[in-house]
Structure 1
Amino acid sequence: MSVEKKNTTLQDENFDGLTAAEIEAQHPADAADTIEGLDISDQVKFIKQLPVKDAADSIAEMDDLDQQALIVNLNKGLAARILEHMAPDDATDLLEGLEEEQRRALLNMVTAEDRAELNTLLTFDPDTAGGVMNTEVVILDQDLTADEAIAKIREEVEDKEIPYYAYLTDKKDRLEGVVSLRDLLLAKRGVILKELVKTQSLITVGYNIDKEEVAHLIAHYNLLALPVVDFGNRLLGVVTVDDVIDIIHEEASEDMQTMVGAGADETTDSPVGFSVRKRLPWLIINVLFSALSAWVVHLFEGNISEMAVLAVLMPIVANQAGNAGQQALAVMIRQLAMERFDRKRAWLSVFRELRIGLLNAMIISSLVFGVGFVVSGKLILSLVMGMALGVDMILGAVAGASIPLLLKEMGRDPAQASSIFLTAITDSMGFFFLLGLAGLVLLNG
């Protein structure tokens, strides 16, 4: 009776303008957003009064750092029960972000069956198919009839994710085929499952394949799920299309951050020390590259002193070429992220960017020459400005397209600090072209 009274009181409590009952009625993704807006004490208070399954669904939708902070603030018994009700891949992702001691404590409190499954998933690299796969799949013996298979699915479906497909295995658990639920429901009575897949071209992926490659395969073949197998073709789990959406979103965010030298896994909630360690090395490298640009300017110090207008024109050349390079850089990184790497096609794309850069450079440099001549009335100065700008824009386009490929060939992330390398090239060479041409044509002419 006292417990009943406690729940009624808590349900009337207000959380960020909503009652707990109103938050509970939301979709788990919306509830997660609301929970993340609460302070940690209110988060704990709210989660405690939810049914465990609803709590698991909401926590699974929260950002990684928020869900980790919440789970370690719950009592271990409740946290363990929540893990048991989460999809295995979601529970594994959460555990991977915890300290070793916290992870071990929670694993010791879940059931032996769940502990064995989670420990297995934790052995896979989180950036591979094995690290993102879900093990809650419908597995059927290939010798069952369609009617027997449907009856078996009805028995098991409550404990599985939405079963897009049923996976057929032999006596040694080797994957023999995949049947969509639609085909299973339309199959004639009495037909043996292996008859439905005897002409099938089976598409699988190894557990050690990079998760980006998995995303490409699912997108290429328009699949809702892709089976993950070991070296003996035994079914381990599946990567579903909702996992692919998360992968694409994560990779896009990482590319955007690493382009400018920030940490790939850095967020606004990351500890200050962590962010400093990730950013500082690239800031030091950027200082060295800036020193290179300054050294180029120093080489032509005499030219600038004789014609001060060159100092005004220098940023125009560098900025315009840098922008042209950033355009090529963004297109190339997108291609590498969205498609399987094809060396020949990728380097042909560099030639394409060269042609684009050449045409853009001709138009922009002609425009700058014309405006410069009208404003200043100095033909040679305007010509030098237009030529330096055009050459640097061409160089920027080629460099922007080439830098990600060179990093890829070296086995590095194509986006890693690519913007810093590009800026160093367009700035230093832009200053060199402008000041060098000015010294050669204007001052020594």
Structure 2
Amino acid sequence: MSKKQKNTIKSYSVAKGNKREKKQESEVNYQEVNWPKASIDNLHPADAADKLEDLPLEKQKEFILSQPIEISAESIAEMERHERIALMSTLPPALAADLLEEMSPDDATDILSELDPDVRAKILKKLEKEDAVRIKDLLKFDPDTAGGVMNTEILVLDRNLTVDQAIQLIRSNAGEIEIPYYAYIVDEFRHLIGVLSLRDLLLSLPARTLKDLLQEQQQHLIFVTYDQDKEEVARLLGRYDLLAIPVVDYDMRLLGIVTADDVIDIIQEEASEDMQTMVGAGSDETLSTPWVYSVKKRLPWLIINVFNSAISAYVVHLFEGSIAQMAILAVLMPIVANQAGNTGQQSLAVMIRQLALEPFDPRKFWSAVLREAKIALVNGCVVALCVYSGVYFWTHNFHLALVMGLALLLDMILGAVAGASIPLILKALGRDPAQASTIFLTTLTDSGGFFTFLGLASWLLLR
């Protein structure tokens, strides 16, 4: 191998590199606490994180101090957001920095971005220069984009390398890079020109160049730009069955990769966010979230809901005289509102799921609203007929049964259209499609149902 080739291999190995040798006299004595050997030891980091979250903060710190730095770092990376914020904020900055250096850059960046700016600045000062620069660069990206979730510890190969040279480089750096399933091929300016799987390399002749292998590939190069939404990144990984996807800038320079394990976290996070924001809870709330934080997140929507409920109450008030003349109306009207609410929830869930799975296409999604209206019309006719029969059998009042059936049909159609439309309206306004959508839906179905039922009753029964 020529000297030039050796230099080429070295220059395109962009893994983390060797860490500094730990000082014999560290700023923090990691073994100063005699931690009792309990069930938390020897667990997978995710399981250890669950155990840690059940401990008081002081006990968490004791465990962190008693374990090897690698184990402690892995456990903290798996903890819930609020728990790890509390823990990392109380650790000495030197220890916090050492823990972050043991994590992958994307995990370390996520944790640092959550901390108070003053705490973050103190920890950054204690980081090695190379790690500090890498993390500061990642902190510039929006956390909801590909750049915000990418990992920069990747395997990058020059296109002029031979297969044998590439395999040697992979072997020498396998322990320092993020999931070496793919090799990313670049030119001398770090422009991404292709991707090879390890299988491609292992089955190729040793003397062949990577450039030649790429020329034989018929596959389309799949990548994302740093500012693409992380949900779109997750959709592409699932669509093309990839284990990782490269992230580039607008000049096609390779910045990092988003891996399948990151995507699993994204999908779980987005699903839980949608479920919680639909009802006005905080998107990142868990059972370990401080109760004061939960109050701040929920209270504004509860206050809004009071005003929305007042609208429904006012509608009922408009027909106070009708209810006084025929008390059975008060008994039947919740059925109309509840049935419409359930219909709307079905449409709402389907629409939010679809928005999460594919890019927003106004024409396609608004045609989906018409589809939901058709479904509600058919379902409404069947349910209205059943309710009509039940009310007539109970009261022997043809007109009351007719009013009940018509009101139920109309309100179910309203609920379906509202449930399908609210996420689209929120999306068009630049808001989260799931944000408190059930609160707005309930207001429409309740007030609309009461108005329709009581209005029809006043017109057909009490005039």
Matches of 1:75 and 1:173 in 2, distance apart?
38
Q: CA deviation at 1:332?
A: 0.7
Q: CA deviation at 1:317?
A: 0.6
Matches of 1:7 and 1:266 in 2, distance apart?
34
Instruction: Note if 1:29 corresponds to 2:46.
Output: yes
Q: What residue number does 2:146 align with?
A: 129
Q: Could you list the per-position Cα deviations for residues 83-120 of structure 1 after superposition, in whole angstroms to 9, with x for gaps in the alignment?
A: 11100000000001100111111111111100100110
Q: CA deviation at 1:74?
A: 2.4
Instruction: Note if 1:401 corresponds to 2:425.
Output: no
Q: CA deviation at 1:75?
A: 2.4
Matches of 1:216 and 1:144 in 2, distance apart?
33
TM-score, L = length of structure 2? 0.90
- Asked if the contact 1:317–1:430 (Cα under 8 Å) also holds between the matched residues in 2, the reply is yes
Matches of 2:327 and 2:81 in 1, distance apart?
54
Matches of 2:285 and 2:194 in 1, distance apart?
41
Aligned partner letter, 1:230 = D
Q: Could you list the per-position Cα deviations for residues 309-341 of structure 1 after superposition, in whole angstroms to 9, with x for gaps in the alignment?
A: 101111111011101110111111111112222
Q: Residue 288 of structure 1 is aligned with which of 307, 321, 325?
A: 307
Q: CA deviation at 1:145?
A: 0.4
Q: What residue number does 2:382 align with?
A: 363
Q: What residue number does 1:80 align with?
A: 97
For 1:275-424, what aligned pairs fall within 5 Å after superposition?
275-424=294-443
Q: Could you list the per-position Cα deviations for residues 27-81 of structure 1 after superposition, in whole angstroms to 9, with x for gaps in the alignment?
A: 1111111222222222111111211112111111111121222222322222211
Q: Percent identity?
A: 57
Q: What residue number does 2:452 align with?
A: 433
Q: What residue number does 2:34 align with?
A: 10
Q: Residue 172 of structure 1 is aligned with which of 166, 189, 192?
A: 189
Q: Could you list the per-position Cα deviations for residues 200-240 of structure 1 after superposition, in whole angstroms to 9, with x for gaps in the alignment?
A: 42111111111111111111111111100111111110000
Q: What residue number does 1:190 align with?
A: 207
Q: Is the alpha carbon distance of 1:324 and 1:251 closer, same or farther for their aligned partners in structure 2, counting shifts above 3 Å?
A: same
Matches of 2:51 and 2:292 in 1, distance apart?
28
- Aligned to 1:414, the other structure's residue is in SS state coil
Instruction: Note if 1:142 corresponds to 2:166.
Output: no
Q: What residue number does 1:49 align with?
A: 66
- Aligned to 2:126, the other structure's residue is in SS state coil
For 1:223-302, what aligned pairs fall within 5 Å after superposition?
223-302=242-321
Instruction: Note if 1:160 corresponds to 2:180.
Output: no
Q: What residue number does 1:110 align with?
A: 127
Pick which of 54-63 and 127-136 moved more: 54-63
- Asked if the contact 2:279–2:438 (Cα under 8 Å) also holds between the matched residues in 1, the reply is yes
Pick which of 127-136 and 36-45 moved more: 36-45
Q: What residue number does 2:198 align with?
A: 181
Matches of 2:108 and 2:33 in 1, distance apart?
31
Q: What stretches of structure 1 move > 4 A for 4+ residues in a row?
A: 6-9
When you count helix as a share of all residues, which structure comes out higher?
1
Specify every segment of 5 or more residues in structure 1 that has no aligned partner in the other structure, as ranges.
1-5
Q: Residue 63 of structure 1 is aligned with which of 67, 72, 80?
A: 80
Pick which of 248-257 and 130-139 moved more: 248-257
Q: Could you list the per-position Cα deviations for residues 289-308 of structure 1 after superposition, in whole angstroms to 9, with x for gaps in the alignment?
A: 21111111111111111101
Aligned partner letter, 1:102 = V
- Asked if the contact 2:32–2:65 (Cα under 8 Å) also holds between the matched residues in 1, the reply is no
TM-score, L = length of structure 1? 0.94
Aligned length: 433
Aligned partner letter, 1:142 = R
Pick which of 220-229 and 340-349 moved more: 340-349
Q: What residue number does 1:3 align with?
A: none
RMSD across aligned C-alpha pairs, in angstroms?
1.7
Pick which of 68-77 and 331-340 moved more: 68-77
- Asked if the contact 2:31–2:67 (Cα under 8 Å) also holds between the matched residues in 1, the reply is no
Q: Could you list the per-position Cα deviations for residues 389-440 of structure 1 after superposition, in whole angstroms to 9, with x for gaps in the alignment?
A: 1110111111111111111122211111111111111111111111111111
Aligned partner letter, 1:125 = D
Specify every segment of 5 or more residues in structure 2 that has no aligned partner in the other structure, as ranges.
1-29
Aligned partner letter, 2:414 = L
- Asked if the contact 1:216–1:340 (Cα under 8 Å) also holds between the matched residues in 2, the reply is no
Pick which of 383-392 and 39-48 moved more: 39-48
Aligned partner letter, 1:84 = E
- Aligned to 1:439, the other structure's residue is in SS state helix
- Aligned to 1:197, the other structure's residue is in SS state helix
Matches of 2:435 and 2:88 in 1, distance apart?
32
- Asked if the contact 1:203–1:226 (Cα under 8 Å) also holds between the matched residues in 2, the reply is yes
Aligned partner letter, 1:255 = D
Aligned partner letter, 1:251 = E
